[in-house]
Structures are given as C-alpha cells and as structure tokens.
Amino acid sequence: MLTEVTALRYLDPLRAGGSVPGIVETDDLGTYVVKFTGAAQGHKALVAEVVVGELARRLGLRVPELVLVDFDPAVAADEPDPEIQDILKASPGVNLGMDYLPGARDFERGMLEVDPVEAGRVVWLDALTGNVDRSCRNPNLMVWHGTLWLIDNGAGLVFHHRWSGAAASLLKPYDLSDHALGVYRPDVRAADAALAPLVTAELLREVLALVPDEWLADEPGFAGVGELREAYVRHLSARAAGSAAWLPDGFASPEQLREAAAKRAAATRAGRPAWLQQVPDLHGKPAVESDWSSHLG
C-alpha cells in the first residue's frame, strides 16, 4: 500500500495549472507536492496519478514517491487566497502527495540528452494510458540529479471519464506528434516489445489496489469498487495486448515545432485589439505547475 502521512504545515500553493497543488510538510519529516480532492479535476485525476505513476514505476521509469496525505484544512488557515481556500476546505481527508524533489527543474529540450530507449518507453506509456499532456509546451517532466522524472500524470486514463464509451476507445491511437520527447528519436517499437508483455492483469491489479476506496466509490454503473477496479484492469490489459493498433509512428521535428509555435503566436496576436498587435506574447510558454524549484527557497 502507499505510505500514509499526516499534513502538519501548508507551505505554499503552486498557482500555475488548474489543480493548484500545494507544498506540504508532513509527520514523516517529508515535504510533498499535494494534489487535492477538492480541485476541479476531482478524484479521477488522483486515480490517474496513482495508476499511471505506479505503473510507470513498475515498468522501470522514474516517478517521485507517491503517498496518501491525511489533510486537515485547519493547517492551511493562513492561506490568504479565497479561491485556494475553497479548494483546501473541500479537501479534508485523504489526498495525494508526490515527493518534493529539491532543486529539480522543469525539463526543456536541449537541457538533457535523453536516450532513444528511455524516450521510447515514456512515449509508449503515455500512448498506453492516453496521456496527451506531456507535450513540448507542457512537458510534465523534471530533471533531478541529471535524470528524467515523470510527474503530473493525472491527465491519463481519459477513458475513465466516460465509461460508457470506454470500449469504443480501447485501441484508439492518440496524437503524440508534439510529445516532449519526440525530438529524441523515441524507439517506441523497442519499448513495446519490452513493456507490453509486462502489463499483465496481475500487475494492474497490484497497481489498482493502491487507489483508496473512497476515490472510486461514487462511480455509477458498477456494483462496487472491486468491480470498478476490474474494469480498469480489463481495459488496460486489453489495450497493452493490442498495442500494434495504437503505437505512435511520427513526431514533429524542431522546425515543425517552431512553425507551430509561430502560428499559435500569430493567432493570439490576431485576436487582440489593434493597439496590442505589436506587444509580444509573454505567455507563449505557460508556466507549468511542475516548476517546484521556485518555491521553498
């Protein structure tokens, strides 16, 4: 099971990104980036964080330790932002913590040489789990001690947002052409040969058992959390077995990425009033919520 800790001190919110996680100190002397059940994405984002993150770990990829954080909103009573307070007050009980990596930096192309084998394995995992939120603009990758770490996996498992359509999307290919690691020549076929046989029903049951019952309890159409867990197991194991149908086979070149960025910038400027047309877009590269290193000093 995931380690259970208790929040003692709420240090700072990470304001970029819709989930507004917070940096929290806990009773195990640890510091964690905590994602809250009261955020807009709700329980399903936390389910995806656990399932995708712990599956990645078992497939040999680096993911910061995940813990379950018992959170009392009273520890954050001094947070002055009323919108953040609304999230915190809606999040008593079990939330998800990810080990804070001190000194880690957001991944940017060129700051680290990524081996095609490792790149292929990350891309393969994202294709398996339907995670299209690891793009060049929002990589959701960190560099820590010269190695690559996967964070923010809550956008994965898109099928569980509408179970009635899950079967139809079982072998759906996702557009990963602008994946953050696409320029590193990811060897997706080698990754498929190595990893697909490992994604067994037994392994997936082990991973799903880590998800707290209360995060699964409100799903309509299932007799209980056990049946819901088995639905995840069936979907992901069948998707892994049918990987030939969804393997990514093309990635944008650096030139194509620059052209796409220029088009987005031009479209942004076109929508401005005339007096703003020549003002540069200062938000062309959004600050992602994974930039932990600017907090805590």
> What is the token pair recorded at 167?
């079967």
Residue bearing tokens 């640890």: 30
Residue bearing tokens 């690559």: 148
CA dihedral 158, 161, 162, 165 (to 10 degrees): 10
pLDDT in tens, 255-282: 766 676 666 666 666 666 665 555 455 4
* Structure confidence at residue 251 as a pLDDT band (50, 70, 90): confident
Look at residue 61 in the predicted model and tell me its pLDDT: 98
Share of the chain above pLDDT 90, in %: 78
Within 8 A by CB and 6+ apart from 31, the residues are 11, 23, 24, 25, 99, 100, 102, 296
Among candidate residues 242, 282, 281, 288, the one with its CA nearest the CA of residue 265? 281
Give the residue-averaged pLDDT of 174-182: 94
Which residue intervals of the chain are DSSP H helices?
Answer: 42-58, 82-89, 116-129, 188-195, 201-208, 225-241, 254-270
* Structure confidence at residue 127 as a pLDDT band (50, 70, 90): very high
